[in-house]
Amino acid sequence: MTILRPSSTYPSASPAATSDSYAHLLPLAELGDHIIHGEHESARENANLNGDSFSGKMSRLGSEYARWYTRQNVLPAPVLQAVQQNRIYIHDLDHYALGTTNCIFIPFEKLLRDGFSSGNGSLRTPNSIMTAMAQVAIIFQCQQNAQYGGVAANKLDYDLAPYVTRSFRKHLRKGLRYFESAAIHTSANAAAGEVDFAASTGSSAVSSVSAAQSSGLIEQPESTLFQDTLRNDWEELILTASMGDEQLAVRYPHAYAYAVEETRTETYQAAESLIHNLNTMSSRGGGQIPFTSINYGTCTSPEGRLVVQSLLAATVRGLGHGETPIFPIQIFKCKQGINQQPGEPNYDLFLQAVECSSRRLYPNFANLDAPLNAEYMIPGEPDTEFATMGCRTRVVADRFGRNHLSGKGNLSFNTINLVKLGIDHGIHRHQLASVNRQQAQRIDSRLENSKFTDAPIHLTDSTLALPDEKEFYRALDECIAIAAEALLHRYRIQAVQPAKASDFMMREGVWEGGDHLQPDEPVGDCLKHGTLSIGFIGLAECMKALYGAHHGEDEQVYEHALELITYMRRACDALSERHNLNFSLMATPAEGLSGKFVQMDRQIYGSIEGVTDREYYTNSFHIPVYYPVTAARKIRMEAPFHHHCNAGSISYIELDGNARQNPEAMTSIIRYALSQNISYFSINHPIDRCTSCGYEGIIGSHCPDCGASEQEVHIARLRRVTGYLTGDYQTRFNPAKQAEVRDRLKHS
Amino acid sequence: MNICGYIPESINEGPGLRAVVFISGCTHRCPGCFSPHTWSFRAGEPFTPELQQQIIEEMAENPLLSGLTIAGGDPFFSAAEVSEFVQRVREAIPNFSIWIYSGYTWEELIHSAIPEYLKLLQLCDVLIDGRFVQQQRDVSLLYRGSRNQRIVDINRSMDQGKAVCLL
């Protein structure tokens, strides 16, 4: 079958393309042209993928075909219709037909402890932190290809602490051999008879050696023999030694100091190489690097703390030329009693994390004390501590009892376009009454995609009478039902996949219980512990279309907005009951989607002030980035929404200026956000980098350091998109996101 | 007295999140000044008692602010009126940290014959002093433009009779 589309390269019409039987393939062929010639917007849909590269294009070709195939052959008719009507969006449609799952918290503790096989070879449990961190990168990489979304560690400090201990013991063994033996020897020779050293060590072996040495029975060359005796004795000590052992520090100060220093150096180097690895292994389709997140901050053992200190220090240091690492997304877990007040064991790490975030935008901050998250936390079980997968995904509760994080994830999510519902039952309803009826009907029947009117529509009293709330909620119910139907339909596809399809994930038990399945056994019974999520976008524009103001502008509208999200959460809870699965509500990370919805809505409804007149819809429940509001007020207004979004949410504050020079401001804002029960929080601030001299900070048209002009030298401008960083927003963001970044109103 | 700028939350003019008020008018006219549009005493709009009250209320309501920074222009050219404003701020928001910029140096202000200068100084906590000198421009400096400028702790400087710098 030939589906070459006639193009400038192939001037003669291909008979296959024009014949009726293949007519439906024409759009697909056109798409191929667009991708190959680099004209397709999908090239920039994902800020992490270079759509201009060969491998990026190759991946796009496959992905676009999969989307087309799914639309043609797989999607249930009502779902397809809702998608075409721009009412819902199915994320990662290219993986729908295959039954791939979205994201996961990886049980690193288990994989490192038991060893694992990559498929081509097996790895033993690591004996040092250096090897353990290398294996973490390998595990991320293996797991990434078994799914389409993010891979995360929910408690990396706890997971890696045992390997810091192993390194410490290794170094201690060396330290004892070199320093303490020598010390014994010297002291024995120098001060024969005064053997209170033996008392201080409490070791009979030492006392007998010293006694023998002091009596002159033993010549120096033989000392190795006695060191061997000593080593046997020390082996027991080494077996249980830890960095926090004060007695050890007192008894063997030299060996202990040596071991601690070596362990610190090794852990730092391991952290540095982990961060480099996670930014360089383009192991994923399209040359993407794995979408990794690491959570940490609550482990109070010296070993766990060292892991966090090292990761933060390596992040501040940056990559090869000092540039800010894009991955892993780092999340500092904040908890009262652990790291929030002076005097708490990890308070210093919190301050270090804020400092790091003021330089590198990461870590973000997860709030373990928010009621939503505290509910499932069991003291002493770090796997029940709230953590997030990068852009915001949250999985904690499970109706089948796995109320912990690792070994499961989100299965898939669909997003509802709230703005369209708002237009249909708010402003547009009144336009129907007040403007050209014929035109309006045409729009209503959606027979035509032509613009409603070229002149922008202003929200005035005449266009805004009472919205039809009853109809709005009826239509919302319908959207939720369709979004849920699509999730269930997709879940059924996912559930019947054989374990061998997700390979590493099931074989190694990355997804809990997968290792008990035979290669051909279906994975449904494991997957049911994951979440099916319904997301939403454009609450602000929806409110504007319904009530003439968004929820940041008017208190009454705010109440309506909160009611709406509470309603959606209840709907998700009801779905969970009805279908006996974990449905949850997500504040959608709207990369790519933020522009798609609005583009199509504008085609239908025209440009409506404050609703469709920008290039993007506002993320989830956020107060619009262009609306002037103080940081504290934005936090107070967004916080209550977090409580309802049990599939995850994030709030941001934008700072204009050089945040690295003012960590006090960062600290007070973060503390305030946590105190208001924001579940997941981050501060955005500009990081520009002069590629000529390497200066990092805020750069206008000229580098303030070397004076290079923007016209002559590339100024890399690092910004955050939906929870993760992207190298340079001018080249990697899609147009809608670029517009959003331009509009962000800063708290300077 | 005119006001030519107000930033409700800033991280660039002192530690923590601070409100910044720009008082119009400056006759120092330093070459290379980054805001010559603030030199005119007619720049911006009158800083009326109502506007002052509005800003004070906004600051009082904001739990994240650690203080106020008064910049310009050079607020010392309107010292008497600025003092009144600062007094109102002090009454409304106790324990608020107040920083102030001036093109005059600490020594010039202290030894000046104008009593209003001293009064305004004593109402504030920290003075960032000195003219902008292009030859000493340094972008890495905290809150300042050129190396001659200092961050002066007013209380300690008064006590010790000489400029005591914070950083």
- Domain assignment present for residue A463? The answer is yes
Q: Is the pLDDT of residue A9 over 80?
A: no
A171 and A87 in a single domain? The answer is no
Decide if pLDDT at A83 tops 80. yes
Query: How far is residue A517's CA from residue A508's CA, in Å, rounded to a whole number?
Result: 10
Least confident of A97-101, A163-167, A219-223, B80-84: A219-223
Residues of B with CB below 8 A from A632's CB? 62-64
The DSSP line for A309-376 is HHHHHHHHH-STTSPPP--SEEEEEE-TTTTSSTTSTTHHHHHHHHHHHHHHS--EEEETTSHHHHTT
Single-letter amino acid code for the residue at B22: F
CA distance B16 to B63: 12
Q: What distances in angstroms separate CA A347 from CA A311, A405, A659, one per listed residue?
A: 16, 24, 20
Task: Return the pLDDT at A190.
Answer: 47
Whether A184 is in a domain gets the answer: yes
Tell me the whole-structure pTM to 2 decimals.
0.86
User: What residues contact A456, with CB distance under 8 A and at least 6 apart?
Assistant: A606, A607, A608, A609, A613
How many residues are present in chain A?
748
The pLDDT of residue A576 is above 60: yes
Our measurement of the distance from residue A188's CA atom to the centroid of its chain's CA atoms, rounded to an integer in Å, reads 59
Dihedral sign, Cα of residue A255, residue A261, residue A264, residue A265: negative
Residues A592 and A488 in one domain: yes
The arithmetic mean of pLDDT across residues A458-467, rounded, is 59
Q: Residue A706 — pLDDT band, cuts 50, 70, 90? A: confident
User: A190 burial class (0-12, 13-18, 19+ CB within 10 angstroms)?
Assistant: exposed
Q: Which residue has the higher pLDDT, A2 or A301?
A: A301
A476 & A594 share domain: yes
Residue type, A170: K
Same domain, A478 and A563: yes
Among residues A242, A259, A276, which one ends one of the domains?
Answer: A259
A224-238, A601-615, B55-69: segment of lowest average pLDDT: A224-238
ipTM of the complex: 0.89
Residue with more model confidence, B167 or A43? B167
What is the spatial distance between Cα A384 and Cα A403, in angstroms, rounded to a whole number? 7
How does pLDDT run across A521-575, given as a tens digit for each residue? Answer: 999 999 999 999 999 999 999 999 999 999 999 999 999 999 999 999 999 999 9
Mean of the pLDDT values across residues A583-589? 93
Going along chain B from its start, the domains and CATH numbers come out as: 2-160 (3.20.20.70)
Quick one: tokens of A110? 């288990």
Task: Tell me the H-state helices in A580-630.
Answer: 593-605
CA distance A584 to A592: 22
Provide the CA B122 distance to its chain's centre, in angstroms: 12
Locate the DSSP E strands across B24-112. 45-46, 65-72, 97-101
Q: How far apart are CA A530 and CA A519, in angstroms?
A: 20
Q: How confident is the model at residue A217 (pLDDT cuts 50, 70, 90)?
A: very low
3-state secondary structure A281-308: CCCEHHHECCCEEEEECCCCCHHHHHHH
The answer to whether the CB of B103 falls within 8 A of the CB of B30 is yes
Q: SS3 for A661-717, per residue? A: HCHHHHHHHHHHHHHCCCCEEEEECCEEEECCCCCEECCCCECCCCCCECCCCCEEE
B139 vs A contacts (CB less than 8 Å):
697, 704-705
Please indicate, yes or no, if residue A577 is contained in any of the structural domains. Answer: yes
Domain boundary among A649, A684, A713: A649
The answer to whether B17 contacts A697, with C-beta atoms less than 8 Å apart, is no
Token pair 């993007």 is found at A616
Q: How far is CA A518 from CA A492, A502, A503, A505, B110, in A?
A: 19, 12, 11, 13, 85
Q: How confident is the model at residue A7 (pLDDT cuts 50, 70, 90)?
A: very low
Task: Report d(CA A83, CA A633) in Å as an integer.
Answer: 36
**CA B107 → CA A162, A403, B81, B131, distances in Å?**
60, 66, 22, 13
Q: State the smallest CA–CA distance between residue A332 and chain B in angstroms.
A: 21
Alpha-carbon gap, residue A640 to A634, rounded angstroms: 11
**How far, in Å, CA of A653 to CA of A639, rounded?**
12
pLDDT value, residue A42: 55
Stretch A324-341: mean pLDDT, rounded? 95
Residue B96 · residue B64 · CB < 8 Å = no
Q: Do the strands A715-721 and A687-690 form a parallel or antiparallel pair, or are they unpaired?
A: antiparallel
Contact across the interface for B9 and A659, Cβ inside 8 Å? no
Check whether A705 has a pLDDT greater than 70: yes
| Alpha helix segments (H runs only) across A623-662 | 631-642
Q: Is the pLDDT of residue A475 over 60?
A: yes
Enter the tokens of residue A462: 């005449």
**Stretch among A270-274, A379-383, A426-430 having the lowest mean pLDDT:** A426-430
* Domain ranges, residue A246: 164-259
Residue contact A662–B15, C-beta within 8 A: yes
**Nearest residue to B3 via CA among B72, B65, B63:** B72
Q: How far is B5 from chain A (nearest CA, A)?
A: 13
pLDDT of residue A212: 39
**DSSP annotation of B137:** B
Residue B12 vs residue A411, higher pLDDT: A411
User: In DSSP terms, which residues pair with B68 in a beta bridge?
Assistant: B19, B98
Residue where the block lists tokens 């979304």? A149
Residues 6+ apart with CB under 8 A from A286: A49, A50, A51, A53, A55, A56, A58, A59, A60
Across the interface, of B8, B15, B66, the residue whose CB is closest to A630 is B8
Chain A closest-CA separation from residue B131 CA (Å): 19
Two tokens at A545?
């279309």
Q: A18 pLDDT exceeds 60?
A: no
Residues present in chain B in total: 167
Residue A517 lies in a domain: yes
> pLDDT tens digit string along A116-167?
998 888 999 999 999 999 999 999 999 998 999 999 999 999 999 999 999 9
Tell me, what's the pLDDT at A53?
Answer: 82
Q: How many CB atoms lie within 10 A of CB A379?
A: 8
Tokens at A725, concatenated: 């960083």
B9 to A747: CB separation less than 8 angstroms, yes or no: yes
Q: What's the whole-number mean pLDDT along residues A397-415?
A: 96
Distance of CA B14 to the CA centre of its chain: 10
Residue A687 confidence (pLDDT): 80
Cα–Cα distance, A38 to A58 (Å, whole number): 12
**Could you give the CA distance from residue A283 to residue A145 in angstroms, rounded to a whole number?**
8
Q: How far apart are CA A300 and CA A316, in angstroms?
A: 22
Kindly state whether residue A346 falls inside one of the protein's structural domains. no
Final residue before a domain boundary, out of A259, A292, A308: A259
* Chain A residues in contact with chain B using a Cβ-Cβ cutoff of 8 Å: 630-632, 655-659, 661-662, 664-665, 668-669, 672, 697, 704-705, 747-748
Tokens of A155: 């408690």
> Do A172 and A87 share a structural domain?
no
Residues A190 and A80 in one domain: no
Cβ neighbours, 10 Å, residue A433: 11
Structural domains in chain A (count): 2
Task: Tell me the per-residue pLDDT of A174-208, one tens digit each, with 9 for 90 and over.
Answer: 999 888 776 555 554 444 443 333 333 334 333 34
Residue A23 maps to a domain = no
> Quick one: pLDDT at residue A714?
82
φ and ψ at B160, to 5 degrees?
Answer: -90, -5
Nearest to A631 among B12, B17, B139 (CB): B17
Q: pLDDT-based confidence at A282, cuts 50/70/90?
A: confident
For residue A31, the model assigns a pLDDT of: 84
Query: CA-to-CA distance for A237 and A224, rounded, in angstroms?
Result: 19
A11-15 contacts at long range (C-beta below 8 A, 24 or more positions apart) = none
Residue B12: closest C-alpha in chain A: A657
Cis peptide before B73 (omega within 30 of 0): yes
Tokens of A2: 């030939």
Burial class (CB in 10 A: 0-12, 13-18, 19+), A319: middle
Q: Are residues A500 and A585 in the same domain?
A: yes
Nearest CA in chain B to A635: B64
Say which CATH number the domain at A526 has. Answer: 3.20.70.20
Query: Of the candidates A658, A669, A704, which has its C-beta nearest B17's C-beta?
Result: A669
Same domain, A92 and A169: no
Q: Cα A624 to the chain's mean position, in Å?
A: 22
Of these ranges, A29-43, A402-416, A623-637, the one predicted with the greatest mean pLDDT is A402-416
All residues of chain A having their beta carbon less than 8 Å from the beta carbon of residue B58 are: 630
Residue A68 is predicted with a pLDDT of: 92
Q: What is the pLDDT of residues A619-632, one digit of tens each?
A: 999 999 889 899 99
Which among B8, B16, B139 has CB closest to A665?
B16
In terms of DSSP H, where are the helices of A70-128? 77-84, 108-114
Q: What's residue A717's pLDDT?
A: 73
Q: What is the pLDDT of residue A55?
A: 84
In angstroms, the CA A544 to CA A247 distance is: 66
Phi first, then psi: give them for residue B4, nearest 5 degrees.
Answer: -115, 10
- Contacts for A374 with CB less than 8 Å, ≥ 6 apart: A368
In a domain, A554, yes or no: yes
- Band the pLDDT of A219: cuts 50, 70, 90: very low
- Which of A46-60, A307-321, A449-463 holds the top average pLDDT? A307-321
Instruction: Give the pLDDT score at A326.
Output: 86
Q: Do residues A187 and A90 share a domain? A: no
3-class state of residue A383 by DSSP: helix
Q: What is the pLDDT of residue A737?
A: 57
Tens digits of per-residue pLDDT, A504-536? 999 999 999 999 999 999 999 999 999 999 999
E strand or H helix that includes residue A652: strand A651-654
Distance from CA of A748 to the nearest CA of B (A): 4
Q: Please compute the mean of the pLDDT values over residues A460-464 and round it to a whole number.
A: 51
How would DSSP label each residue in A34-84?
A: HHHTT--GGGGSSTTS-TTSHHHHHHHHHHHHHHHHIIIIIS-HHHHHHHH
pLDDT at residue B138 in the model: 84
The pLDDT assigned to B101 comes to 97
- The predicted pLDDT at position A294 comes to 98
Decide if A641 contacts A562 (C-beta within 8 A). Answer: yes
Alpha-carbon distance of A686 to A705, in angstroms, equals 17
With beta carbons under 8 A apart, name residues in chain B contacting A665.
11, 15-17, 66
Is the preceding peptide bond at A363 cis, omega within 30 degrees of 0?
A: yes
The CB-side HSE value for B78 (13 A sphere, CA atoms) comes to: 27
Higher pLDDT, A724 or A292: A292
Q: Kindly state whether residue A268 falls inside one of the protein's structural domains.
A: no
pLDDT (tens, 9 = 90+) of chain B, 167 residues, equals: 999 999 999 998 999 999 999 999 999 999 999 889 999 999 999 999 999 999 999 999 999 999 999 998 999 999 999 999 999 999 999 989 999 999 999 999 999 989 999 999 999 999 999 999 999 988 778 899 899 999 999 999 999 999 999 97
Q: Say whether both A493 and A595 belong to one domain.
A: yes
